[in-house]
Structure 1
Amino acid sequence: MTRPADIYLRFLQLTEALRGLPALPALDPLEEKILEFVARTTQKSNRLSVRDMMAQSEIGSPATLHARITSMREKGWLTLSDTEDARRKQIELTPAALKHFDRLAEAFAKAAKGP
């Protein structure tokens, strides 16, 4: 019988293997947290502006968040697009970032099936 912990540990092994694939540059732990926040927000069909992101004080200070968003854009994980208000930019995942989440989902499904 497979325990839930076994599935999760297999998933971690598979995600570690994904990190070795040549795709996008690696993220630091804070950038991973930001990526997950952006993904969860946009999955709910909510728009996320840079200003909205800066208000997430539980993730980091505005200066830290701004620096990480800039870094993540340079690494190819995030993009900024214009909104109706030229002063506001919307944060979006790049196609490569979406493919990363697809690979994670595939790894999870594979882990759940068993060895």
Structure 2
Amino acid sequence: MTKPTRPADLYLRFLNLTEALRGLPTLPALDPLEERILELVARAGQANARLSVRDVMAHDQLGAPATVHRRLKSMREKGWITLSDTEDSRRKQVELTQAALSYFDELSAAMVKAARNG
């Protein structure tokens, strides 16, 4: 394997590895908006912050609340997120499923592999 000749080569190797991960049959594919929502939920979880359906829908950069709500429903059906009860039965907390956490573990391993082989 040749050494990268520029810093971007490392990132491009990582992208190639992640593309291979997306082809695995572990979970159904996400569209770009669903990926952004998944990353938002993951970052909130990493920060030990609670994120409700309403909180996700309030992020203007994700688009119209109805669109975000449809995507959350789709992601739940695909097995990427789960909705947990809170003290208020009308509010649901959005959390990653174990399969989604495993996906992030695989992405992390791909990042390490790209850096190591670079």
Q: Report the TM-score range of the alignment, normalised by the length of the smaller protein.
A: over 0.9
Out of 31, 35, 46, which is 1:43 matched to?
A: 46
Tell me the TM-score normalised to structure 2 length: 0.93
Could you tell me which residue of structure 2 aligns to residue 13 of structure 1?
A: 16
Q: Structure 1 segments of 4 or more deviating over 2 A?
A: 1-4
Could you tell me which residue of structure 2 aligns to residue 54 of structure 1?
A: 57
How far apart, in 2, do the equivalents of 1:21 and 1:52 lie? 31
More displaced 10-residue stretch of structure 1: 14-23 or 72-81? 14-23
Question: How many residues of Structure 1 are paired with residues of Structure 2 in the alignment?
Answer: 115
The Cα shift of 1:48 comes to 0.1
Equivalent positions of 1:1-115 (< 5 A) are 2=4, 3-114=6-117
Letter in 1 for 2:34: E
How far apart, in 2, do the equivalents of 1:98 and 1:60 lie? 25
**What are the ranges of 5 or more consecutive residues in structure 2 without an aligned counterpart?**
none
- Residues 23-57 of structure 1, C-alpha deviations (whole Å, 9 max, x = no match): 00000010001101111111110000011111111
The Cα shift of 1:4 comes to 2.2
Letter in 2 for 1:71: S
Question: What percentage of aligned pairs have identical amino acids?
Answer: 69
